[in-house]
């Protein structure tokens, strides 16, 4: 995960809109009308670009790294099941 921020704060705008950082939009080839799947997990929300391309080995490796962090590291992402 070199040269990549693990987390970045953004602001939820009117009507639930978010603006992804330019570097992320560029990295994933996203434009103003790109389709993105939203996946809610116990630890947060995943935004996954919808594409016909298979997952790259690089992205698969990053996903493995993320999943390997373990619960103690995921605790930095607050989640309240009561809300």
Model pTM score: 0.54
Sorted by where each begins, the domain ranges of the chain are 14-74
pLDDT value for 44: 75
Q: What is the CATH code of the structural domain delimited by 14-74?
A: 2.10.260
Contact in structure between 36 and 50 (CB atoms under 8 Å) = yes
pLDDT value for 9: 84
SS (H, E, C) 21-35: CHHHHHHCCCCCCCC
pLDDT digit string (tens) for the chain, length 83 residues: 455 566 778 899 999 998 888 888 888 888 888 999 887 776 777 788 888 878 778 877 877 777 777 666 666 665 555 54
């Amino acid at each position: 995960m070199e040269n990549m921020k693990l987390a970045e704060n953004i602001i939820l705008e009117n009507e639930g809109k978010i603006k992804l950082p330019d570097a992320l939009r560029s990295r994933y080839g996203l434009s103003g009308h790109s389709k993105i799947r939203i996946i809610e997990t116990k630890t947060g929300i995943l935004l996954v670009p919808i594409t016909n391309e298979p997952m790259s080995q690089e992205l698969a490796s990053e996903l493995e790294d993320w999943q390997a962090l373990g619960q103690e590291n995921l605790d930095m992402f607050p989640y309240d099941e009561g809300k």
